[in-house]
Amino acid sequence: MIVAVGIDVVLVERFTGALSRTPLLGDRLFTEGERFTGSGNPRSPESLAARFAAKEAVAKALGAPAGLHWHDCEIVTDPDGRPWLTVSGTVAAAAAERGVNRWHLSLSHDGGIASAMVVAEQ
């Protein structure tokens, strides 16, 4: 059963500017696995913006409770390149309170815009 849906849209240029102005922002928002590809190369600004949109979409699906930690929601990529959500800590606790035990994720970026949609299921 679907519990909630979350969606977020990010302007890539604005997001990249924020990362440039605040050098530690990337470390605060993303795990090492999110910042770098499996081969160790840095992810593109579009890919990072989409991952940020996914984290925002998760928070929206959970009702944006206070106290969520960015690293407690991680977007991982399977060997086929498909993105998945993993949650732990504060995000897992908020999800459990709402009965969420399964997530579906879609990421996209084109024309300077990155977007993400998540479906939270029970």
Which residues make up each annotated binding site for Mg(2+)? 8, 56
CA–CA gap between residue 97 and residue 99 (Å, rounded): 6
Q: What is the DSSP string of 36-104?
A: B-TTSPBPPHHHHHHHHHHHHHHHHHTT--TT--GGGEEEEE-TTS-EEEEE-HHHHHHHHHTT--EEE
As annotated, the binding site includes: 8, 56
Neighbours of 25 (CB within 10 A): 15
